Structure 1
Amino acid sequence: MADYATEAREQHPLRRYSNIAVAFHWVTVALVLFQIWLGLSFADMAQGPERGELFAWHKTIGSIILLTVLARLTYRLQNPPPPYPPELPQWERIAGTWNHRLFYLLLIVMPIGGYLAVSGQSKGSTTELLGGLRIPVLPGISKQMGEFAGGVHELAAFLLIGLIALHVAAALKHQFVDRNRASGRMPPFKDPVDEPVVIGQGQEARSKAG
């Protein structure tokens, strides 16, 4: 069975992601980069008020990322992305598609793993986020299970950083080296042939592409 997400169609003009999808993308980028900075900042800090504050930020941003990614995934499932232009080789279409899928997987698994880790280490029934907001920890999570979840969370973070580096390198390569039209699917990147682009998110636009 063919994977529609990797399909390519001739497009004049080029189809790009919708404004909603573009907003989801760049908001997620900003949140994830900030979260990575937070995680690296407090990881080796001694226990104390400063570390506690950064950790509260980390938990809060993690919760926001999870909600944002679930909303983004829901939108994407209901509004398929625009097809690739045929100028992009099939192996790159497959790699790009699975890169995105791994992003979704990691950005869902990581907050859940962090939540499990916090639940296993918490001495109370709640954990504090920013603004004094408290959320309940998961009951029945042992310290050992929390430590395992924390290890998975950390490993996934480094895998995520690697995927980000690969994604950025591919985007820059498509735009400035290959001058491939695929780069124009996500603003602010431009279609190298300087043709107008149209929103191509959704099943109807997909069926009309070409």
Structure 2
Amino acid sequence: MTSVPSATDQQAVTLRYNNGAVALHWLIAVLILTQLYIGFVFAGMERGPQSMQWFSWHKTFGVLILVLSMVRLGWRLAHPPPPFPDTMPRWERLAAVWNHRLFYFLLFALPLTGLATISAGGGGTTELLAGIPFPLIPGIPDAAGDTLGETHEVLVFVFIALLVLHVAAAIKLQFVDRSRAAGRMPPLRAPSDAKV
């Protein structure tokens, strides 16, 4: 059974993420949006020196997202999220919990499938920006490269769908439901006439 936190005493409970979680959330969000842009531009380019520069950016942002996601997961385990308001329907709480779990899964799966794709058939290192070497995953057969690349692409579109759902839910909480849950992730704030 999935545990869905809720506030038992609305006056005594702080219904917002702490500053560390907020900083990591928005930093990773900016990196992801930039990474999506870079990925789609790179995918549409003809192979050459310019596309390889974009690919270096793509790999570098992927590594940054992976490292920050590890930090974020550690932070999340040490600092539980704020409870949902009791007025929030149970199905919305469950949807929010699973949306976050899928986000965490994809924050690891996307960089790792990307790394596995470029590791297929080779070993050693790959170059990030400024020629920084980053280790490849050893032992991945060359024949797996296409399948891994296709998996990576599918996960990108799953991530985009999840992102659209996440943003739509935030807008709904803020402007339609006018719920206190809207203020869990600053700089969003709970409406002054929010349901308690």
Q: TM-score, normalised by structure 2?
A: 0.93
Structure 2 runs not aligned, ≥5 long? none
Matched with 2:27 is: 27
Matched with 1:44 is: 44
Matched, 1:166 2:165: yes
Cα 1:151–1:70 shift into 2, 3 Å: same
| Structure 2 letter corresponding to 1:48 | G
Matched with 2:5 is: 7
| Structure 2 letter corresponding to 1:26 | W
**What is the rounded CA distance, in whole Å, between the counterparts of 2:133 and 2:37 in structure 1?**
23
Moved over 4 A (4+): none
Matched with 1:66 is: 66
**What is the rounded CA distance, in whole Å, between the counterparts of 1:37 and 1:20 in structure 2?**
26
SS at match of 1:127: strand
Matched with 2:105 is: 105
**What is the rounded CA distance, in whole Å, between the counterparts of 1:136 and 1:70 in structure 2?**
17
SS at match of 1:16: coil
Cα 1:121–1:194 shift into 2, 3 Å: farther
How far 1:139 sits from its partner (Å)? 2.1
Aligned residues with identical type, % of pairs: 48
**What is the rounded CA distance, in whole Å, between the counterparts of 2:5 and 2:65 in structure 1?**
29
Matched with 2:152 is: 153
How far 1:173 sits from its partner (Å)? 0.8
RMSD over aligned CA atoms reads: 1.8
SS at match of 1:138: coil
SS at match of 2:126: strand
Matched with 1:79 is: 79
Please give the residue correspondences for 1:117-132 in structure 2 after superposition, counting only pairs within 5 Å.
117-120=117-120, 125-132=124-131
**What is the rounded CA distance, in whole Å, between the counterparts of 1:176 and 1:135 in structure 2?**
44
How far 1:93 sits from its partner (Å)? 0.4
Cα 1:25–1:45 shift into 2, 3 Å: same
SS at match of 2:51: helix
Aligned positions, number: 193
Structure 1 runs not aligned, ≥5 long? 196-210
Q: Which structure's relative contact order is higher, taking Cα pairs within 8 Å and 6+ residues apart?
A: 1
